[in-house]
Amino acid sequence: MSVLVDQQTRLIVQGITGKEGTFHASQMIEYGTIVVGGVVPGKGGTTHLDRPVFNTVLDAVKEAGANTSVIFVPPSMAADAIMEAAEAGISLIICITEGIPIQDMVKVKTYLASKSCRLIGPNCPGVISPGKAKVGIMPGFIHAPGSIGIVSRSGTLAYEAVNQVTLLGMGQSTCIGIGGDPVPGTSMKEAVELLMNDPDTEGIILVGEIGGNMEAETALYIRDYGTKPVVAFISGSSAPEGRTMGHAGAIIGGKHDTAQAKKEILQSCGVHIVDSPADMGKAILAALGK
C-alpha cells in the first residue's frame, strides 16, 4: 500500500507545454506514472508528448478520467489553477510553483475548505510512491520501494534522506514534499498522519526547519497517536532571528520558531532527533532495531 499516489493515479499536467512542464512530464511518463494529458487554455485539441492537451481541467476529468493534477504554471496564475482543479473534481492537487503570493494562498485555503480534495505544496517537489507513481520533480532513480515514509519541508534534504534509506536497503513507502511556503496545502502533521495509518510504512523520517509551528503540532500528534518510530532533522540551527532562510516560511519570528525549540518539543514527544542530516538513515535503522 502507499498514500496519495499509486497505480490508480491518472495524472494531468497543468502547464504541460512550458519548459518545466515538458521536462518533468517526460520524467514522470518515463517513471511509469499514468499521465493522461495536459491542460493549457487555448491549446485544447492538440497533443504534446503524445498526450492530449485540454483547454480546461474539467475537460480532462470528463474525457480522460483524470483524478490528480500537478501544476507547473507561473506564480500569478497558480492560485487560479489550483482552484480550477478543485472545482473540476480533482482529488489530489500537487502544486510545484514557487513564489505564489501569500494572500493568494490564503484565498486558496479558504476556497479548498469546502472541497473534497487535498493540496500538496505549493513550492514543493511533489509526492512519490516508489515503483508505483511519481508526481513532481524529484529524481526517481534514487528512490526504491520499501517501508520508510518521508515528510519534508525541504526538497534537497528529502533527497538526502531518500538516498540514505535506499543505500541502507530499507527503501521508501511514500515520500511527501509538503513545501516551504508559509501557507501550505497539507501540513506536516497531516502528512505524518497519513503515513502512521499506512500499514506498509514501518518508520518515518521528518525534515523540518525554522519558522512556523508545524513541527510542534506534529510532535503533539506523535505523542498522542504515534504508533511507529519517527526520526527528525531540523535545519536552521544557526539562522539569525528575523531573516528568511531559503524558503519563504523559514523565518524565526520568536523563541518557539527556532530549530532548538523544535528539537526539544519533538524529543519530549518521543521523536528521535539527529543533529546532522548525514545521520537520518542510520537513525531510522536504529530506531527500528535493524
Catalytic positions: 247
Count of C-beta atoms within a 10 Å radius of residue 242: 8
Strand stretches in the chain, DSSP E: 11-14, 35-39, 47-48, 51-54, 68-71, 92-95, 118-120, 126-129, 133-136, 145-152, 172-177, 203-209, 230-235, 272-273
What contacts 106, CB < 8 A, 6 or more positions away? Answer: 183
Q: How far apart, in whole angstroms, are the C-alpha atoms of residue 265 and residue 161?
A: 22
β partners of residue 37? 12
Alpha-carbon distance 137 to 242, whole Å? 30
Pairing state between β 230-235 and 203-209: parallel
List of long-range contacts for 104-107, beta carbons under 8 Å, 24+ apart: 104/78, 104/79, 105/79, 105/181, 105/182, 105/183, 106/183, 107/79
Neighbours of 146 (CB within 10 A): 19
Beta bridge partners of 206: 151, 232
* Residues 201, 147: Cα–Cα separation, whole Å: 5
Residue with cell 497531516: 190
DSSP letter for 135, please: E
Number of H helices, E strands in the chain: 9, 14
